[in-house]
Amino acid sequence: MNENSALPNVYDFDKTVVYPDGGATFFFFCLRRHPGLIRFLPLSIAALFRFVVSHGREAPFKAEYYRYLRGLPDWREEVRAFWETQADTLLKPWYLAQLRPDDIIISCSAEFFLRPLCDQLGVRVVGTRVDTGTGLLEGYSCYGLEKLRRLQEAFEGLKIGEFYSDSLSDAPLAALARKAWMVKGDTITPWPEGSK
């Protein structure tokens, strides 16, 4: 028996467990169904650009990015419809093959967006907190060191068996895991030496 098998595995979400950036894919899904959301596109693109150039340090990014929720008649219905129609094509087969009920998904994506899928999969989730009434951020984006803080807050004393991510920004979590993996598409390789 693998020594890590008794410990929960932790996974980043976007481009790790699913192929695309889930949050962006959800926005464009909503835009196709509600073309009036186009008025939020310039603000969302500007917010995304600032997030990228600040390497995730700009907290207001998600506060501006999710303002499009105000333009939806029922965000819960949009999330339900998204996962009902998209989950099979977005989820990576390798993850589904090794999914366990003690898995934890941790992501910069919004928790309101991730929770229905994670509930369906039977796994736990920690994501960016967003007020769905206003689209405003509650706290910081769950990114980089904030991911580590949020994980420790949610699961005190947690030990990680294996950690999977597509991004070196998750090095703080990789350092906690008994084994860490870098994910690029469907290719999984050991976490790069010296980057934990």
Residue 195 lies in a domain: no
Output the pTM of the full model: 0.90
Domain span holding position 64: 10-190
- Tell me the CATH number at 173: 3.40.50.1000
What lies within 8 Å, CB to CB, of 57 at 6+ separation is 144
> What's the pLDDT tens digit per position in 5-34?
689 999 999 999 999 999 889 999 999 999
Q: Which residues of 141-180 are buried (b: 16+ CB within 10 A; e: fewer)?
A: bbbbebbbebbeeebeeeebbbbbbbbebbbebbebbebb
Residue 1 lies in a domain: no
| Contact predicate 180/188, CB 8 Å | no
Structural domain count, the chain: 1
**Could you tell me the maximum CA-CA distance found in the chain, to the nearest angstrom?**
54
Residue 120 lies in a domain: yes
> What's the pLDDT tens digit per position in 130-184?
999 988 888 888 989 999 999 999 999 999 999 999 999 999 999 999 999 999 9
